[in-house]
């Protein structure tokens, strides 16, 4: 049997402002046989997520920088192809942080490095989206921070994305009125017609905060009680102008500033005027909530009550361009790379 070859993408250089394909490099390495306790996984799908942009920098953030010349970090789902660990059998489907590569060799005794998943009613790829980290992110920000009551209005930016789409559907299930922001008529149609939001604002149609705020007033006549933030910038300013007293903002992402530009806030005094609660969170710091979140998300996906869309790039070589597209909003729903 010829030795397996692992195709990997490493971080070749740190971006100066906007990242480019030149920041990545494709390498090949031999795959070692599993030692005692180890598990070899063939990755089927790689998840591409906005947080990866922050890791490419060397500056201070909530996560360690991605080391240069090392395999890019990333969530994966795949299949066990060799095992010397009693907890994992060949053929087991698993989710883990396998990185931008074809094969992952890990110590199966380490807690949390691999989770076995059941693909009877839930597609394998969904464990990287609606029933994975993005879904739990949506659940935590909505349920634990915004905590909407029936009849309240919840607004979501990047509403057609992997996180935003789940936020809206969970909020609808709790009886809230839900308004999304998305870029383009197609995404807005999908958010309303497929995901069941009450309304969606195409931010590309509104050149300034005043126009955006007017559109939000029409879509959310009773003001905003909860806002799930993925973007920052002008959308945040427009939401602030429509926020109700005691409104809550879950700060999940600020993609408008990922290349280092400042994100000024036009009216922070509204935080005081409206006695608002604004809370940032990182979902990996709330592991105790994952089982409850995954139970609800998994049940909703398995029964068809939680809808999601995927954009799939083919092959590891396509990962850098797909990632750069994600940062510019070219994807529709969850961005994945099919590795097999």
CATH number at residue 253: 3.40.50.720
pLDDT greater than 80 at residue 94: yes
Per-residue pLDDT tens for 265-320? 999 999 999 999 999 999 999 999 999 999 999 999 999 999 999 999 999 999 99
Which pLDDT does position 2 carry in this prediction? 58
**Residue 104 is assigned to a structural domain of this protein:** yes
In a domain? residue 302: no
**Are both 85 and 173 inside the same structural domain?**
no
Q: Which domain holds residue 73?
A: 5-129+308-338
Strand partners, 8: 27, 101
Partners of residue 93 on adjacent β-strands: 79
Encoded tokens for 2: 């010829």
Is 60 exceeded by the pLDDT of residue 159?
yes
Do residues 256 and 233 touch, judged by C-beta distance below 8 A? yes
Span 167-200, pLDDT tens digits: 999 999 999 999 999 999 999 999 999 999 999 9
pTM of the model: 0.93
- Domain check: are 67 and 204 in the same one? no
In this prediction, residue 309 carries a pLDDT of: 96
Q: Are 207 and 84 within one domain?
A: no
**b/e code 17-52 from CB counts within 10 Å (16+ = b):** eebeeebbeeeeeebeebeeebbbbbbbbbbbbbbb
Q: Count of domains in the chain?
A: 2
Express each pLDDT in 127-153 by its tens digit: 999 999 999 999 999 999 999 999 999
Mean pLDDT of the chain: 96
Is pLDDT at 61 greater than 90 in this prediction?
no
What is the residue whose two structure tokens read 């361009």? 321
Query: Are the beta carbons of 44 and 64 closer than 8 angstroms?
Result: no
Q: How far apart are CA 132 and CA 157, in angstroms?
A: 20
**Mean pLDDT throughout 192-212?**
97
């Amino acid at each position: 049997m010829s030795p397996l070859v692992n195709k990997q993408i490493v971080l070749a250089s740190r971006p100066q402002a906007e990242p480019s394909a030149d920041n990545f490099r494709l390498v090949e390495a031999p795959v070692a046989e599993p030692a005692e306790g180890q598990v070899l996984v063939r990755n089927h799908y790689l998840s591409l997520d906005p947080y990866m942009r922050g890791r490419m920098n060397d500056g201070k953030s909530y996560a360690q920088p991605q080391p240069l010349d090392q395999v890019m970090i990333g969530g994966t789902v795949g299949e066990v192809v060799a095992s010397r660990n009693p907890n994992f059998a060949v053929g087991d489907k698993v989710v883990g942080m396998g990185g931008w590569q074809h094969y992952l060799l890990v110590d199966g005794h380490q807690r949390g490095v691999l989770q076995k998943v059941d693909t009877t009613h839930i597609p394998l790829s969904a464990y990287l989206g609606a029933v994975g980290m993005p879904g739990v992110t949506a659940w935590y920000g909505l349920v634990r921070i915004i905590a909407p009551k029936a009849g309240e209005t919840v607004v979501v930016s990047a509403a057609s994305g992997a996180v935003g789409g789940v936020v809206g559907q969970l909020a609808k299930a709790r009886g809230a009125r839900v308004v999304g922001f998305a870029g383009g008529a197609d995404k807005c149609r999908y958010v309303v017609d497929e995901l069941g939001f009450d309304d969606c604002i195409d931010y590309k149609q509104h050149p300034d905060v005043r126009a955006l705020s007017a559109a939000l007033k029409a879509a959310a006549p009773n003001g905003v009680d909860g806002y799930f933030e993925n973007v920052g910038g002008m959308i945040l300013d427009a939401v602030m102008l429509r926020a109700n007293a005691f409104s809550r903002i879950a700060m999940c992402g600020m993609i408008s500033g990922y290349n280092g530009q400042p994100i000024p806030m036009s009216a922070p005094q509204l935080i005081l005027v409206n006695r608002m609660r604004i809370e940032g969170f990182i979902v990996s710091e709330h592991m105790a909530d994952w089982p409850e979140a995954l139970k609800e998300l998994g049940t909703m996906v398995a029964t068809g009550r939680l809808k999601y869309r995927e954009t799939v790039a083919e092959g590891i070589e396509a990962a850098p361009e797909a990632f750069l597209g994600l940062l510019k909003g070219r994807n529709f729903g969850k961005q994945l790379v099919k590795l097999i």
